[in-house]
Chain A
Amino acid sequence: MSKPKIGIFGMTGCAGEQIVILNCEDELMDILKVLDIRSFHTAMSKNDEKCNLDIAFVEGALVQPEEEISLKEIRKRSRLLIALGTCAVWGGVAAMKNEVSRQRLKDIVYGSPGRIFKSIPAQPLHSFVKVDFSISGCPIEKEQFLQAVASLVHGDIPVLPKYAVCTECKINENTCLLLEKSELCLGPITVAGCNARCANCGIPCSGCRGPVEEANIASEVEILKEKGFTLGDINNQLRTFAGPAEAIQTHLAKR
């Protein structure tokens, strides 16, 4: 069996996913044994921009019109397209203030130089192209990436846990920050996979991996309101990593 030809691409993001891949130091040689990496600008100087790919891993959100063109190019070249990281899957932090106009945001952030480039409200990849599989996380978890590669090489679509961070948090026997300490924890509606990284350290989950399927935002909001948080605080937290997610948009539209 010939090695699958793959590309690793970045849209707008912090390159965190690409760094996680490069940080797989002990496994990099094994990865190269099973994948034929044709394009990986962050790590290689010779990249094939045209060849057909079996798998394209794409990081980052879309915030510039040109990115839509390059994403669609990648989609056309590749049999599978996999969204890597919360920006690619949910829009990420770049989408946190999507309700404010781009012009105003550019003025605040860049001042007059902001006038020379175009910017669109940050969106996840699936708003523009078909995404075959998503690995969320800010950044992604190395183990999930490696497991996904192993499954893909084997010809399977990876299976990642779909349950909430609370499940992992309970397994780790952490004192519940939401119930025992009344902290703003998004664990009940955030998809697991990080092994409750933050709650393990006594820090509430800020939802960096994005919502679980069928997230019960209404119930979470009720619980947090009862704990004394304002709707403003809650909404800001909900918007931080996955603002464009349908469940969150539906909640925000309700007010």
Chain B
Amino acid sequence: MQIVKLPKQNLDKFIKSLSKFGQIYAPIKKDANTSLFSKIEDSSQIDLGYNRTLLPPKKYFLPPIDTMFKFSAEAGYEEMEHDLNEKSILLGVHSCDIHGLRILDLVFSGRYVDNYYFTGRKNTSIIGVSCIPDDMCFCRSMGTDFVENGFDLFLSDIDQSYLVRIATSLGDDMVRASQSLFKEVGKEEIEEHKKKSNEMQKHFKIDLELYNLPEILDLEYESKTWEEIGEKCLSCGSCSMVCPTCYCYDVFDELSLDGKTGERKRRWDSCLFKDYALVAGGTNFRSERSARVKNRYFHKHRGFVAQYGKPSCVGCGRCIQSCPAKINIVEVITKIRSDAYV
């Protein structure tokens, strides 16, 4: 992979030149506490040094609420119109979130390809950016603290400039379109980059041990820990909403008043919701909150591993940050692990 240098004073010009390649979406600061991905009209809004966005970039490909098609008694089904030529650029995506998107790609490209998801996904290029972990990040444990694919360009911050990794021909086109802004990487920058990479590792405060975890979870299926967190959990759904790899959705119809036409929609769902596992006839096979909390962990760290060979958690720390009951995935797994060894 080719790597070039982008001096920071050229960043703004580069971003402006990128708009030729599509509408830019990038992190902005909403207020002192919150960053989010937003459509960018003015490049000065972009904050590439952000910590974590409230919602992950999945919101662009699997929107919180989405119309799938319209229907009417006379006309039948009518697909929603999408402009297949509309290109977008997701700029400033952290490594964990790129992994998150790769996991969603895997899920939605299964036996029944989800074109609602892929329509936008295929037309979006990804420009990653390096980050500094805080006390809730555990991407290192999940092997998602760096990425090898799933992006067109990746910017590594080395203070005065970015090292820009070019991963695809589209990324190459983006660099070539403003070639004069880029410089060759010198010895000094290589040293700086290695120094930064080592420093990054020192920021990690928490770790989640993956070794044998699916097996331990199976053994600890009846652990009291599930009851304990079930007591604390409010089923508020925050953890699923903010999770880059939670992909559950609920499908429903919205009818017009005359009952003749309507829209079929889907919206984010969560296995923490009481009615998630409610089926016809009124049976609920996870009516206990403890069973629902347990499902979140089992899906991420056991079921998904069995199906796809890796967990569906990228260690982004969002669920830790947003749980009102302070339920912390790393603490829960650590507790389960140590219970198993008692």
- B87 CB-CB contact with A under 8 Å: no
Output the residue of A153, A171, A187 with the most chain B CB within 10 A.
A171
Residues of B within 8 A of A214 (CB): 235, 274, 289
B254-275 vs A, CB cutoff 8 Å, 1 = contact: the mask equals 1111110010000010100111
Contact (Cβ within 8 A) A178 B237: no
Q: Mark A131-166, 1 if CB is under 8 A from B, else 0.
A: 000000000000000110111011000010011101
Chain A nearest Cβ from B253, distance in angstroms: 9
Contact indicator A173/B30 (Cβ below 8 Å): yes
Interface residues, chain A, CB within 8 Å of chain B? 27, 30-31, 33-34, 146-147, 149-151, 153-154, 159, 162-164, 166-167, 170-171, 173-176, 178-181, 187-189, 212-216, 218-220, 222-223
The secondary-structure label for the interface of chain B is loop
Structural contact, B237 and A27, CB atoms closer than 8 A? no
Contact stretch, chosen from B8-16, B31-39, B139-147, B218-226 = B31-39
Chain A to chain B contacts (Cβ below 8 Å), 6 pairs: A167-B236, A171-B268, A189-B236, A216-B234, A219-B234, A219-B325
Whether, in the assembled complex, B332 has its beta carbon less than 8 Å from a beta carbon of chain A, the answer is no
Residues of A within 8 A of B30 (CB): 173, 175
Within 8 A of A (CB), among B179-232: 231-232
In the complex, the answer to whether B274 meets A213 with C-beta atoms within 8 Å is yes
Q: Is the CB of B234 within 8 A of A173?
A: no
A95 nearest CB across to chain B (Å): 23
CB < 8 Å: which of A170, A176, A189 contacts B234? A189
Taking A150-B262, A179-B321, A218-B231 as known contacts, 5 extra A-B pairs with beta carbons closer than 8 A to each other, sorted by chain A number, are A33-B257, A162-B273, A216-B234, A223-B324, A223-B326
Asked if B237 and A30 sit within 8 Å, CB to CB, the answer is: no
Could you tell me the distance between the alpha carbons of A215 and B289 in the complex, rounded to whole angstroms? 11
Interface size class of B (residues with CB under 8 A): 35 or more
Q: State the CA gap A31–B258 with chains docked (Å).
A: 8
Q: Is the CB of B257 within 8 A of A170?
A: no
Query: Residue of A at shortest CB range from B35?
Result: A173
Contact B324 A216 (CB under 8 A): no
The distance from the CB of A187 to the nearest CB of chain B, in whole angstroms, is: 7
Q: Which residues of B contact A179 (CB under 8 A)?
A: 321-322, 324
A149, B30: Cα distance in complex, Å: 37
A6, B238: Cα distance in complex, Å: 39
Give A215 to B33 CA distance when docked, in angstroms: 28
B252: interface (CB < 8 Å): yes
